[in-house]
Structure 1
Amino acid sequence: MPLPSTSTPGQSQTRTHGIGYSDEVEMADHSASVTRPSKDNGMIREKLTAIADVNTENTLEDQDATLLLSKSTPADAANMRRMGKPQQLIRHFRFLSTVSFVALATAAWEIGLFVLTPGLTDGGRAGLMASMAPIAGAQYHWVSEFAPDKYQRILSYISGWTSTIAWQAGNAQGLFPVGSLIQTMILINDDSYGFPSWQGTLLAFMAVLIAYTGVVYGAKVLPYWQNAVFVVHILAYLGYIIPVWVSSPRATHAQVWTEFDNGGGWNSMGLSVLIGQLSGISTQCGGIDTAAHMSEEIKDAAYSVPRVMVAVYIINALIIFPGVVTVVYHIDDLNAALNDPTTYPAIYVLRGAMSVGWITVILVLIALLNVASNIVYLAAVTRDLFAFARDRGLPFSRWISQIDDKRHIPVNACILSSGVACCLALIYIGSPLAFYAITSLGAVSLLQCYTLSIGCLLWRRLNHPETLPPAQFSLGRWGVPVNVAAVVYGTWCFFWAFWPQQTPVTAASLNWAAPIFVAALIGAMLYFVFTARKTYVGPVTEVEGRKEHFR
């Protein structure tokens, strides 16, 4: 994946070509390994693989063919060459389609408004309003390139595993809202419906199948329907908040901004509010960096990816904050909202604004938008898994990192990610608690990965700034303060993400993220000791200008 900016994580590598080689050399980029489906697909792939060989001298015609077939720009080719990676994917995505992709992946209001219960329980309306602060993201490649050379291997390996765990857990958890919304629609139309967990699992299987079909068999059209669905994403949001503001009962300004509630039973209101911020953290930190994971399929990624991430962050902020304000202003009875049969305060406020029929229509739209979100999220999860396997950090890495000759996507990684989601969904039948305990790893693992990668970037900026590649998206002198603030805030959030929602703590209320996170790290380290230490060296060992230090 193209490298992020030297200023802040989540930003992509510059068009400037890096250290130690010229424009003419860079044009013979690894992107040549990409092919188009045709009758002579095998011959073309063989020729382009030869072109991609860094030891092969290629003609300008070969280089132009490489760029054409992969839809890369010379800057894309230069960045892939600098990082020593073959261009195995085709760059179908452009700026606007990538903005739509990331906005749908984050599902800011479709998910964000339905995960307010922890914040409302621990802190109430006013406590929830204080929890909407964001955090930026990155990935294991950046840890490898920016960490001290002595520690880059183990630190990037740990980040690769935590990133993989986070995305796989997030994928499994994100597939459930579709089924949950379908069950909720049944419930609001039939009060006797009992929400059986086995039906939730079957509906999750359906969501997995749809997402897999969309990612694999709809790979070529994936970038082209995003913009239309993004428009629906905005219109459905307006269709939610406008009727609520017009018709639903309202709380007072004092209730919204000054009345806190310690529903978790903690010994101080401040502690309760801090614990309740997890829903806000999860909403803001999940999905924005899907753009980074799709970088090898975005044209002119070095320029586009950081701007996409900033644009989507702004769009999401303009959506989610008014959405949260709308919900909390129209909860006239907090206890009733928290005890609503649907379990969603966001649906409780709809009850006072419209009929059951219109609520059902709104929920159908939200469910369909979640289906679209599942497709694009699975695409990003697949690329994350593929990238780490390409660097031999996982079991069965060679199989996982294979690229399908016809579709030019990592189909095996998609199969595995879908299988993991189905296996986790089966756990839900026996114990919803166990399912949510495992998938709660998502926010914790992302925070660890983000904070470590930003910290490594900060270390390199302060100690060896001359080794940082140039950036097209730079914060200049504000880069260090922003990085420091991000590390501090990420560490702060990481600490609170392990706390249970209420006290006294029982097996049912314990936040199992902590023991499962530790167990996952132990498992990853055991795999490293016995296997990965022989195969995983860290992606920086292939980066131009740095790889010489590791030989």
Structure 2
Amino acid sequence: MSFTDFDTLSSSDSFSKPYNSSVETGEIIFRPVYRDHVDDAEDLARLGYKQSFHRGLSLYGVFSVSFSVLGLLPSVAATLNFSMLSGTPGMLWGWLIALLFVCCIAASMAELCSSMPTSGGLYYSAKVLAPKGWGPLAAWITGWSNYIAQLTFFASCVYSLSSLLIHAADEFDGKDVVIHNYHIFFLCLSFIVVLAIMASLPTKIIGRINSVCTFLNLLSLLAVIIIILVSASMRQGFNKSDQVWHHFQNKTEWPQGFAMLMSFCGVIWSMVGLDTSYHLVEECASASVNAPNGIMLTAVVGGFSGWIMHVVIAYTIVDYSGVLKAHNLWVEYLTQVLSHKPAKAVIALTLFSNFLMAQGVLITSSRVAYSYARDGVLPFSKWIAQINKRTTTPVNAVVVNSSIAVVILLFLFVGQCAIDAIFAVSGIAAFVAFIIPIGLRSFFVKDSNFSRGAWNLGRFSRFVGGAGTIFVLIMIPILCFPTVTHPGPFEMNWTSLGYSVPMVAVLLWFVIAARHWFKGPKTDMPGLDIPRISSFKSNTKHPQFSGHSLGKN
């Protein structure tokens, strides 16, 4: 497969020689060159970075980690309180409609990943694509929003894993045991220690583990579907199609249309890990092709698998209102549909998938922390950005993110309302980070000024990215709405506060201090700085490609 490469005229660059270049008005420029192979180290050097990781992940390997992060079973289980807000039609039609726009976001992200395959991902892209003078601020907001999403997402995965385990044990044990917050907290702590050790393993081992586990994950999903369908057919039967697809049940105090939009939130929170392949791109072979394909496979395979799971739930659910009123919706649904032993088996498979999900999220978040620390963004960046010589993985970043997750989980002792708000932040924070570079590409950068990689959307690039951006802009306020029109303190959706407080803090940090020293992602190649979009048009026979200049944004 051919791909685009950009090399410079500068004689000081020891890592490359120009393939096809010229000097226009004294400006050092890049030219697109077509080759029949992918040189990952050279592609990374074009962006200003040296190869640090071992590229031990194939397409299946990077998809495996990404698919594990989605954790379809635990994601479906954890988001039923949103998916079911508009009845079974809302579960099915709502998931499909929202998934269409999520796939637009995934396709635009894949295009950016192919163009700029660095683990800084969206943060790097935001710097390059922003209008002149706005690059540092765009990168700062994107980077911190993405990092906040990763941290809260990991903590929420560990919490849901521990909470499901404890409540399932209480449900099936038959003993009336009072569950305290410290029970859940210390179980979370135990899981974090195990997950941190796994995330610190060499990349090759991580790839093998996740390759096997992804296969088992898919088998688990298939097994759960079969168990539910067989059990339902032998016990209560299936719900009628007319009821499943057309009988709306508004479980909010808002109008039906708005309740339908609120049901989209389940898809958004299930797809928080959509950018996982992007952050693993520096550990992926043939990165400019395999990592974008990993993003798309995650969106399409994960999205439609999640929809099939919702179809199964819609056709088998017995007491819709009873499930919505339960403390744990997934456990309540399973006890309605299944007998004792099959329900325990399904919960065990859900716990297994949830564990893999938490492991994948910690791997991804540690790579995000490493890339930001490499650029000096985080406190103690020099220490966090160190690569362990034995494992060639960012072990220090794993330790930092695990420690922060423990601190986040202390909100358990504040109350359920507080911990729910913290965990809900991940959806907003992640999609804000997604749409900043995608929106910049769609609305501010012309096709003639965008350097496409091997994986690209061609002439549909701006349309697809624009559709995804508008969808997220509509959904962000909806993610912050409570289900009642006149909420009290314990019915209020505090997600907006959970996101705005840390983001206001980092914006103040930028205004007061960081704007004086933060100029965007730093390169570690001698004589290079982050390239930005140039306005010239290529004189090659492929005018859709353009160059990056070496000027500062």
TM-score by length of 1: 0.83
- Mapping of residues 366-377 of structure 1, within 5 Å: 366-377=350-361
| Corresponding residue to 1:152 among 126, 130, 135 | 135
Aligned with 1:112 (options 76, 79, 87): 76
Structure 2 Cα separation of the partners of residues 412 and 455 of structure 1: 33
Superposition map of 1:504-543 within 5 A: 504-539=486-521, 541-543=529-531
Partner in structure 2 of residue 470 of structure 1: 452
Asked whether the 8 Å contact 1:177–1:367 carries over to 2, the reply is no
Is the contact between residue 128 and residue 276 of structure 1 (CA under 8 Å) also seen in structure 2? Answer: yes
> Which whole-Å deviations, capped at 9, do the CAs of 1:479-514 have from their partners, x for residues lacking one?
121111111112112221111132321111211121
Give 1:205's match in structure 2, choosing from 189, 193, 203: 189
Q: Which amino acid aligns with 1:131?
A: G
Match of residue 314, structure 1, among 295, 300, 310: 300
**Letter aligned with residue 484 of structure 1:** G
Following superposition, the deviation at residue 468 of structure 1 comes to: 2.3
Shift of 1:221: 1.0
> Aligned residue for 1:280?
267
- Which residue of 63, 77, 81 corresponds with 2:41? 77
1:543 is displaced (CA, Å) by: 3.1
Distance in 1 of aligned mates of 2:313 and 2:262: 20
In the superposition, relative to structure 1, how do residues 352 and 518 fare at CA in structure 2: closer, same or farther (>3 Å)? closer
CA contact (8 A) 2:70 2:357 kept: yes
- Letter aligned with residue 168 of structure 1: L
1:298 is matched with 284
Q: 2: CA distance between counterparts of 1:24 and 1:400? A: 30
Unaligned runs of 5+ in 2: 18-36, 110-121, 523-528, 533-546
Q: Does the aligned pair in 2 maintain the 1:392–1:532 contact within 8 Å?
A: no
| Partner AA of 1:93 in structure 2 | L
Give the % identical residues.
Answer: 21
- 1:269 paired with 2:256, answer yes
Hey, what does 1:550 align to over in structure 2?
552
Check 1:335–1:26 CA distance in 2 against 1; reply closer, same or farther (3 A cut): farther
Give the stretch that moved more between structures: 404-413 or 246-255: 246-255
SS of aligned partner of 2:412:
helix
1:405-416 matches, within 5 Å, as: 405-416=389-400
Could you tell me whether the CA contact under 8 Å between 2:66 and 2:298 is conserved in 1? yes
- Report how far residue 23 of structure 1 moved: 13
The Cα of 1:246 is off from its aligned counterpart by 2.2
Segment of structure 1 superposing worse, 257-266 or 414-423: 257-266
Q: 1:473 to 1:219 in 2, by over 3 A?
A: closer
State the alpha-carbon separation in 1 of the partners of residues 215 and 82 from structure 2: 30
Are the counterparts in 2 of residues 427 and 435 from structure 1 also a CA contact under 8 Å?
yes
Compute the displacement of 1:323 (Å): 0.3
CA deviation profile, 1:234-287 (whole Å, cap 9, x unmatched): 111122111222222332223222222222222x2212222232112211x311
Check the 8 A contact 1:18/1:470 in 2, yes or no: no
- Asked if 1:165 is matched to 2:148, the reply is yes
Q: Which residue of 2 aligns with 1:20?
A: 8
Secondary structure of residue in 1 paired with 2:207: coil
Taking only aligned residues, the RMSD between alpha carbons, in angstroms, comes to 2.5
Aligned to 2:57: 93
Tell me what 2:404 maps to: 420
Q: Which amino acid aligns with 1:86?
A: K
Structure 2 Cα separation of the partners of residues 23 and 235 of structure 1 = 55
Residue 95 of structure 1 deviates from its aligned partner by 1.1
Task: Report the more deviating stretch, 503-512 or 414-423.
Answer: 503-512
For 1:504, the aligned partner's letter is: H
Equivalence map 1:133-532=2 (5 Å): 133-134=98-99, 135=102, 136=105, 138=109, 139-191=122-174, 192-217=176-201, 219-248=203-232, 249=236, 250-266=238-254, 268-283=255-270, 285-340=271-326, 343-344=328-329, 346-462=330-446, 465-532=447-514
Q: CA deviation at 1:546?
A: 4.3
Cα contact 1:208–1:418 (8 A) shared by 2: yes
Secondary structure of the structure 2 residue equivalent to 1:149: coil
Judge which range, 122-131 or 87-96, deviates more.
122-131
Aligned residues of 2:273 and 2:361 also touching (Cα < 8 A): yes
Q: CA deviation at 1:386?
A: 1.4
User: Structure 2 residue aligned with 1:127, among 90, 103, 111?
Assistant: 90
Structure 1 unmatched runs, 5+ = 1-12, 30-72
Q: 1:532 to 1:252 in 2, by over 3 A?
A: same
Deviation at 1:343, TM superposition (A): 1.7
What amino acid does structure 2 have at the position aligned with 1:151? W
Q: How does 1:48-87 map to 2 (within 5 A)?
A: 75-87=39-51
1:336-376 per-residue CA deviation (whole Å, 9 max, x = no partner) reads 22234x522x3334334433223222222221222122112
The residue identity in structure 2 corresponding to 1:308 is: G
Question: How many pairs were matched up?
Answer: 489
| Cα contact 1:156–1:538 (8 A) shared by 2 | yes
State the 1:28 CA deviation: 6.0
Sort the Cα spacing of 1:543 and 1:82 in 2 relative to 1 into closer, same or farther, 3 A.
farther
The alpha carbon displacement at 1:168 in A equals: 0.8
